[in-house]
């Protein structure tokens, strides 16, 4: 199923996670139902620092409806790095990057290919 939207509460949570983890990055998996991103999944073994966030794909439980990933860029750059593009290609359709000031305008969504995508935000 194609991802078409993100729940406002999940987007708010992703932005808050960016604020609360600053100056370190964070990374989580995103789950969906009926084409809407509606849940975050922290994955055991994830490593974070000020420069990177690494998720171990072999720790993702089988059978999850994975929509993609979300992570922060504390430096404020909302474009994906080469490492991000490698992660994007491994799982899901939508990959969200959030950054300072962690408000409603400081996030972007990208597809597996690294091209920016538009997601509807639904209440």
Say which of 9, 25, 104, 120 is annotated catalytic: 25
Environment class of 123 (CB within 10 Å of its CB; exposed 0-12, middle 13-18, buried 19+): exposed
Known catalytic membership, residue 25:
yes
Q: What is the three-class DSSP state of 109? A: strand
The alpha-helical segments, DSSP class H, found in the chain are 8-21, 82-88
Active site residues: 25
């Amino acid at each position: 199923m194609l991802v078409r939207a993100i729940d406002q509460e999940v987007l708010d949570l992703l932005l808050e996670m960016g604020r609360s983890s600053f100056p370190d990055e964070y990374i989580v998996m995103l789950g969906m139902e009926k084409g809407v991103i509606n849940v975050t999944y922290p994955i055991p073994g994830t490593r974070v620092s000020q420069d990177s966030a690494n998720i171990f794909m072999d720790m993702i439980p089988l059978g999850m409806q994975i929509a993609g990933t979300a992570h922060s860029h504390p430096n404020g750059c909302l474009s994906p790095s080469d490492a991000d593009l490698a992660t994007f290609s491994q799982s899901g359709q939508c990959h969200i990057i959030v950054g300072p000031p962690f408000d409603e305008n400081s996030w972007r969504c990208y597809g597996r290919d690294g091209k920016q995508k538009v997601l509807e935000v639904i209440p």
